[in-house]
């Protein structure tokens, strides 16, 4: 039996970061995972998908834009399996790095299923070997979430896929229906479309990326349709049936039905928490109606000494949110001063093409909240760096409070906007105004000048539009 100050269950971006900070805070720390260090994000999620998206960018350029760049060749051969293998190498390199960080920070790693067998005790069930009992003053639950597929659709990993099936398969489908136009749906649309797959994207709500500002969603739909993706918003999937040739998907809208035939279906409609089967009920940890773990601003559950971070809390299912929660939690355990996370102002990014990035209120949300608003908008087509990159579509949109100049939100679509967003979130955090952003000198020629011009546009002072 081992005694710890902190035992973290789950080694994803929330769990391993929490463990490192707990160790840095002088607490004897252990981490448990039943499958892999790095969690979904590093192994089968955000990291390997970005490698695939880089390959997709090259594939799209070679297939569709060579004349524009003055390049010609014969017999283009695109090996999709090589792209998947490269993505696996990227993933493995980073997960080896997590293993190194655990050793560097003197964190004990246990591989196996964890079960909370008491308020201060966790039992580890390894695949091979005997159970191990860990006594601890604090338990941090970082077990994440899993992709949800209705059982009636009979996900089989061959015809009907989850995101994990999709990211690991080396086979490039000739045609695919993607159910759900959230981040996973639009990113895989980008990847497969770039390689020539016939993609049909089905979304039940009126817009792609339905949580984003409506203008962004409309711009993204235009870009996807231009690339040949069939986009079916406001459509419900009625049935998915497999056959000898692939799948038959029945969709409906306003009483009209349509059948889409394809080789595969990717289901990307949402996530459920990994909160069952780990003993939460036995120790009285409260869950909300959707089975996410209820927490306070310090990541504490209703049971003293038991904490929760990451996707299993349902706050905002993003890796960087989990990591931030992990640091906050470890500091709270060490009785350090902590600051609550303002989830509305957390940056969000979707790595489709064109990229989408945002934080804060949409235009509609700001109006609904009663704000009198001012908006500054600037197009990438008027930005020299964007045109030099041949990426002139999209825009930056900044929303401010008309009375006080407060930054209420920003919504970007275009080249590398995920890298531009931190300037705006830092400005919001430091209570800067759009005028102060505009007065900051931005290097020329850079994409960041779009932010300066959008900030100027809030007060109708943009120079190049």
Is a pLDDT exceeding 80 seen at residue 7?
Answer: yes
Is a pLDDT exceeding 90 seen at residue 165?
Answer: yes
Domain residue spans in the chain? 2-147+272-333, 151-269, 354-457
Q: How confident is the model at residue 329 (pLDDT cuts 50, 70, 90)?
A: very high
Is a pLDDT exceeding 80 seen at residue 406?
Answer: yes
Q: What percent of the chain is modeled with pLDDT above 70? A: 100
pLDDT in tens, 238-248: 999 999 999 99
Q: How confident is the model at residue 370 (pLDDT cuts 50, 70, 90)?
A: very high
- Helix ranges (H only) for 149-213 are 163-168, 183-194
Cβ atoms 199, 168 nearer than 8 A: no
Q: How confident is the model at residue 249 (pLDDT cuts 50, 70, 90)?
A: very high
User: What's this model's pTM, rounded to 2 decimal places?
Assistant: 0.96
| pLDDT, position 129 | 85
Residue 376 tokens, joined: 């500054």
Handedness of CA 206, 179, 145, 167 (dihedral sign): negative
Mean pLDDT of the chain: 97
CATH class for the domain made up of 2-147+272-333? alpha beta
Say if 2-147+272-333 and 151-269 have the same CATH topology: yes
Is a pLDDT exceeding 90 seen at residue 2?
Answer: no
Rounded to whole angstroms, the Cα distance separating 296 from 78 reads 50
CA-wise closest residue to 174 among 156, 154, 159, 152: 159
| pLDDT, position 311 | 98
Cβ atoms 5, 34 nearer than 8 A: no
Cβ atoms 375, 363 nearer than 8 A: yes
Q: Average the pLDDT over 337-353 and give the result.
A: 97
Radius of gyration of the chain (CA): 24
Which residue's entry shows tokens 């952003």? 437
86 φ/ψ sector (left φ>0, alpha ψ -120 to 50, else beta): alpha
pLDDT in tens, 139-162: 999 999 999 999 999 999 999 999
pLDDT in tens, 45-93: 999 999 999 999 999 999 999 999 999 999 999 999 999 999 999 999 9
Fold of the domain spanning 354-457: Enolase-like; domain 1 (3.30.390)
Is a pLDDT exceeding 90 seen at residue 1?
Answer: no
| pLDDT, position 260 | 98
| pLDDT, position 96 | 95
As a CATH number, domain 151-269 is 3.50.50.60
Annotated active-site positions, please? 444
């Amino acid at each position: 039996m081992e005694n710890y100050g902190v035992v973290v269950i789950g080694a994803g971006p929330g769990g391993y970061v929490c463990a490192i900070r707990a160790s840095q805070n002088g607490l004897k720390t252990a981490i448990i995972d039943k499958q892999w260090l790095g969690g979904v994000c590093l192994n089968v999620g955000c990291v390997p998908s970005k490698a695939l998206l880089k390959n997709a960018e090259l594939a799209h350029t070679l297939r569709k834009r060579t004349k524009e760049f003055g390049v010609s060749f014969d017999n283009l051969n695109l090996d999709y399996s090589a792209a998947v293998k490269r993505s696996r190498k990227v993933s493995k390199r980073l997960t080896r790095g997590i293993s190194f960080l655990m050793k560097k920070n003197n964190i004990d790693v246990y591989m196996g299923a964890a079960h909370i067998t008491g308020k201060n005790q966790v039992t580890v069930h390894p695949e091979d070997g005997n159970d191990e009992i860990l006594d601890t003053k604090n338990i941090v639950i970082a077990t994440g979430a899993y992709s949800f597929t209705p059982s009636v659709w009979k996900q089989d990993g061959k015809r009907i896929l989850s995101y994990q099936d999709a990211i690991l398969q080396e086979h490039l489908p000739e045609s695919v229906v993607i159910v759900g136009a959230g981040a996973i749906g639009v990113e895989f649309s980008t990847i497969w479309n770039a390689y020539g797959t016939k993609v049909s994207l089905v979304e039940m709500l009126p817009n792609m990326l339905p949580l984003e500002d409506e203008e962004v969603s409309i711009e993204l739909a235009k870009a996807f349709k231009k690339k040949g993706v069939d986009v079916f918003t406001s459509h419900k999937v009625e049935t998915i049936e497999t056959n000898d040739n692939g799948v038959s998907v029945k969709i409906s809208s306003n009483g009209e039905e349509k059948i889409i035939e394809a080789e595969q279906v990717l289901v990307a409609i949402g996530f459920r928490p990994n909160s069952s089967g780990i003993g939460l009920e036995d120790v009285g940890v409260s869950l909300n109606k959707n089975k996410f773990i209820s927490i306070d601003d310090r990541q504490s559950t209703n049971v003293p000494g038991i904490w929760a971070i990451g996707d299993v809390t349902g706050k905002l299912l993003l890796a960087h949110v989990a990591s931030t929660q992990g640091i906050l939690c470890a500091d709270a355990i060490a009785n350090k001063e902590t600051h609550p996370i303002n989830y509305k102002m957390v940056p969000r990014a979707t790595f489709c093409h064109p990229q989408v990035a945002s934080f804060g209120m949409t235009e509609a949300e700001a109006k609904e909240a009663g704000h009198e608003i001012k908006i500054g908008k600037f197009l990438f087509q008027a930005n020299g760096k964007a045109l030099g990159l041949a990426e002139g579509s999209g825009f930056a949109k900044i929303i401010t409070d008309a009375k006080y100049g407060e930054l209420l939100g920003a919504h970007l679509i275009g080249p590398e906007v995920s890298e531009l967003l931190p300037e705006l979130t830092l400005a919001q955090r430091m209570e800067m105004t759009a005028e102060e952003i505009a007065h900051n000198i931005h290097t020329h020629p850079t994409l960041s000048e779009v932010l300066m011009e959008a900030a100027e546009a809030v007060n109708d002072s943009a120079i190049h539009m």
